[in-house]
Structures are given as C-alpha cells and as structure tokens.
Amino acid sequence: MGHNGINLTLPVEQSPFLLPNSSEKDSHRRRHKRNRKKQKIIALETETHFQIQTLQPGPFQKFRSHTHRHTVSHTVGKWQDRNCRKSGKTFVHRRWTNSNHDTSDYNDKIVLVSYNILGVDNAAKHPELYRDVSPKYLDWEFRKKLLCKEVTGYQPSILCFQEVDHFNDLNDLFAKNGFKGVHKARTGEACDGCAIFWKTEQFTLLHEESIDFQRFGLRNNVAQLCVLKMNQTGPSGDDITESPNDTSSPSLVIGNIHVLYNPKRGDIKLGQMRIFLRRAYTLSQEWGSIPVVIAGDLNSLPQSAMYQFLASSELHTQRHDRRMISGQIYPSEHVESQFWRNHVWRWTGEELMLATGSRNSYLRHPLKLSSAYSNVPGSFKYRDKVGEPLATSYHSMFTGTVDYIWHTSDLAPLRVLETLPMHTLKKTGGLPSKEWGSDHLALVCELAFVSDGN
C-alpha cells in the first residue's frame, strides 16, 4: 500500500470469454470491494499481532525486526487515524505498556510525570530550533493550556517539570485540578527553573529543599528534592511536620533536576549529578530509608557514560573523554577503536574536583537505581536497545532521548507511557505542535511501593 510496497488488494477473477453487462459490472465491483475490505482486515490483524510482540533476538535480528515493525505499522496507523477522527479522538494518542510482573498485590501506587515543558524565554532566544514550527504553537497562552490538558489526562499523582519560567501560570492551572507546587528558579541570566507538583488529596509535603549548583562552582543549574507522604485518612492541603519514624503510611523522596546542557563539560554534568544523588540518599536515610525517585532532563543519551554512572553507581572518569561524558558529541570513527576504549584520558585537577569533589578519578554514588522505562520491556517501535524511549525531544537540531525516570528497588514500575514512533514524530515537522506543547515529550510511569509482603 504505497509505503511498504505491498498491494493488499487481490484482483477479481473474470471470465475471458464474456463481456460483462452493466449489472455484471456492478456485481464485479461489489465483489472487488468486499475482497479488498476483507484483505485489509486480515492485513491489519496480522500487523497488530506483530506490533505487540517484544523481541529479544541478536543485533542483526533486532535491526530487521525493528525495520519490519516500523513498515507494517504504517498501515495500522492510517487505519487508526480514520477511526480516531470518527470517534473524536486524536491520532497521536500514546499507549501504555504494562510490566510483565504480577502487580495485583501492590496497594500503594503513584503516577509520576517528568516533563521539560520548554521555557518561554528559551524558545524566544533560540528560533533556529523551531524554524519548522508555526509561531502559534510556540505561543505560551496556547501551550500552557495544551500542557495542562495533556498532563491532567494522565491522572498523575506527582509532576516534575523542567524549564519552568511561568510558574504562577502553571500553579493557577494545576491548583484547579487539586495540585500544589514548589518552584526553584535558576540564578544568573537564565530565568527558568524546576517545579514539583503533587496531588494534595494523595500526598502531604514533609520536607522541601533545593540545590543551586552555582554555590559549588557548577554553573547556575538547579535541582529540587521533596519528601512526600501518602495520605491514608483523607485529603489534606496543609504542609505539616511529622516524625521521620512515623511509618503509618509510605513516604518517598522526589528529586527533580535539569542538568547543564553544554556537551563538552562532562565534568560539570557529573558534579551536578554527584551532589544531587548524594543529597537524595541523605534525605532517604534521614526519613527512615524511604524510596527515591529521580526525574528530569539529564542532557545525556542512553549510551553515555553519564547513563552508565546512574545505572551502575560508579564511573572511572579517566576512561572517558570529558567531552564525551553525555554522549551528545559523537566521536569520529577512528576514536571509536579498541584503543580509544582502553585509553586513559588526562583530566586536570580542576576538572576532577568538579566531577568527583576530590582529586580522585573514581566516582561513586550511594543509590541503587533502575530506569523505569528500561525495567518495563517494550517494542522496538518505541524503544532503543537499552530499553529507553527512542526520542524524548525533537526539534530542528536534535532528535533523541535525554529525559529519564529512575527509582530505587523499593519501588516497582507497573507500567510506562510510550513516547511516539519515529515516523509519527517526524510527521509533526518539529515540536511543539498542534498536539504537543513542548519540544520534549512527557515521560509517565506508574510506580508501586514494594513491601516485604510483595
């Protein structure tokens, strides 16, 4: 059917000896139409079957499977588009993927959203990133309503936003939906920051603090940390102080961060993450070894040393070029040789101090973290080989994944909201768009508290 080169319509057989009259022509047309419809249905059923499989083959098979699934899903997409228009739904609807584990015994659950919502000032300062985007889709009055409508549709418990420079607007909008929030703005010339919102009938704020990395000589990025306690007896909109030893209902640490963008300053990126993770761990211990969730825009790719640091809790800095820590700059072909992988890179004393806090080249963090998305197996239509989304950001200069949700082992991911297939994303011509209010896509996951019984 055009895109995949497969003709799903079978020819109608006709007798070579008879010329059909008008009634026979009508009959042939009806049979032709029935056959065509039948073949389409069969094809769609087959394509849907392939679409929901999760494959774990070798590298060559992965590539073949991904290409095949991308091709066959195009027809399904067009079919869904027609049906969505009839029902009033949007074609760009995102789907949930459930965990393979039995989740029936989990009681306390939360839905968490992490979203870089695109600062108004940032969008205005970098028009080259949005050259294919209509100005009306960049307008904040349009975007803020679209963002609120989208996010509340996920029925979230906790929201972690980055690039927030109109907090009061968001606070007013989300207050109408039962949320309360805290904001930390960046210092210096930049006016955006981070914000955490929580559903007041589900949570009580026990503690809140922020990190201004400028105080540590690590640029003017910021991070937030909140201790939230689930309400068991009823809604409460007031912030109260409780004992860390109170275990009547589960609590957790929520960390929200926007890491420095500069691709070449891996030392600063690591330093920001080091301080952030250490403080999240300390809070967890102070409040009774409670679970930790880390969310945000890390400005690092899934194949990067930064990702490796979060996943493995350690990193030998001198085995990596400082400029390659986040994976945003791709090394040339000769640099990717075996020699490069075993090479020891020279870091200056200042760079080591920024990255590790000492002259030691070995970096560790105390949390044992897992990625919510990589822990829920998904289709190659949406995920890379690590298990992360294929893309969480898309504009004229970049397409890829830089946003993540990490959690400790006392939380279990029950399901995640898939991002968009690449071909669907590219049809937008660039984000923001009519359907999406930012140049990033929201990450959404449902997490459950893991008790001894579970």
Structure confidence by residue, pLDDT tens digits, 409-450: 999 999 999 999 999 999 999 999 999 999 999 999 999 999
pLDDT of residue 62: 33
Residues with Cβ within 8 Å of 351's Cβ and at least 6 positions away in sequence, in order, are 267, 322
* Domain count within the chain: 2
Last residue of a domain, one of 87, 115, 139: 87
User: What tokens does 344 get?
Assistant: 């020891």
End of a domain among 34, 53, 87? 87
Q: What is the pLDDT of residue 451?
A: 77
Contact 438, 165 (CB under 8 A): no
Q: Are residues 278 and 333 in the same domain?
A: yes
* pLDDT number for residue 266: 98
Residues 131, 259 share a domain: yes
Rounded to 10 deg, the angle between the 266-286 and 305-312 helix axes is 20
For residue 162, being part of any structural domain is answered with yes
- Cα–Cα distance for residue pair 224/255, rounded to 1 Å: 6
The DSSP secondary structure of 167-213, one letter per residue, reads: HHHHHHHHHTTTEEEEEEEPSSS---EEEEEEETTTEEEEEEEEEEG
Residue 280 forms part of a structural domain: yes
State residue 278's pLDDT score.
Answer: 98
Judge whether 244 lies within some domain.
yes
- Residue 411's domain comprises 104-449
Contact 362, 317 (CB under 8 A): yes
The C-alpha atoms of residue 229 and residue 232 are separated, in whole angstroms, by 9
Whether residues 61 and 190 share a domain: the answer is no
254 within domain boundaries = yes
Residue 235's contacts (CB-CB under 8 Å, 6 or more residues apart) are 200, 201, 202
Same domain, 138 and 176: yes
Residue 174 shares a structural domain with residue 209: yes
Q: What is the pLDDT, as a whole number, of residue 223? A: 98
Q: Is residue 213 part of a domain?
A: yes
In a domain, 339, yes or no: yes
- Three-state DSSP class for residue 160: strand
Report which of 182, 173, 235 is spatially closest to residue 204, judged by C-alpha positions: 235
Contact 251, 287 (CB under 8 A): yes
Q: Are residues 66 and 113 in the same domain?
A: no
Q: Helix H segments across 240-385?
A: 266-286, 305-312, 338-342, 349-356
- Domain presence at residue 95: no
Does residue 152 sit in the same domain as residue 28? no
Please state the pTM of the whole predicted model. Answer: 0.78
Give the bridge partners for 114, in sequence order: 160, 443
How high is the pLDDT of residue 239? 45
Q: Are residues 436 and 303 in the same domain?
A: yes
CATH of the domain at 141: 3.60.10.10
- Return per-residue pLDDT of the chain as tens, 454 residues: 434 333 333 333 333 333 444 455 566 566 665 655 544 444 333 333 323 222 233 332 332 333 333 322 332 233 233 333 333 333 358 999 999 988 778 989 999 999 999 999 999 999 999 999 999 999 999 999 999 999 999 999 999 999 999 999 999 999 999 999 999 999 989 999 999 999 999 999 999 999 999 999 999 999 999 999 999 854 444 544 455 455 679 999 999 999 999 999 999 999 999 999 999 999 999 999 999 999 999 999 999 999 999 999 999 999 999 999 999 997 654 454 444 555 678 999 999 999 999 999 999 999 999 999 999 999 999 999 999 999 999 999 999 999 999 999 999 999 999 999 999 999 999 999 999 999 999 999 999 999 755 5
Domain assignment present for 251: yes
Task: Give the pLDDT confidence score for residue 344 in this predicted structure.
Answer: 78
Same domain for 74 and 119, yes or no, is: no
- Interior CA angle at 293 toward 95 and 401, to 5°? 50
CA–CA separation, 26 vs 9, rounded Å? 18
Structure tokens given for 214: 């400028």
pLDDT of residue 31: 62
**Spatial CB neighbours of 199, under 8 Å, sequence gap ≥ 6:** 156, 157, 158, 178, 179
Nearest Cα residue to 174 out of 143, 192, 198, 154: 198
> Do 307 and 226 belong to one domain?
yes
Are 152 and 51 part of one and the same domain?
no
Does 257 lie in the same domain as 128?
yes
Q: Which helix (H) or strand (E) holds 293?
A: strand 292-297
Nearest Cα to 219, choosing from 190, 243, 242, 245?
Answer: 190
Indicate the pairing of strand 403-408 with strand 369-371: antiparallel
DSSP letter, residue 436: -
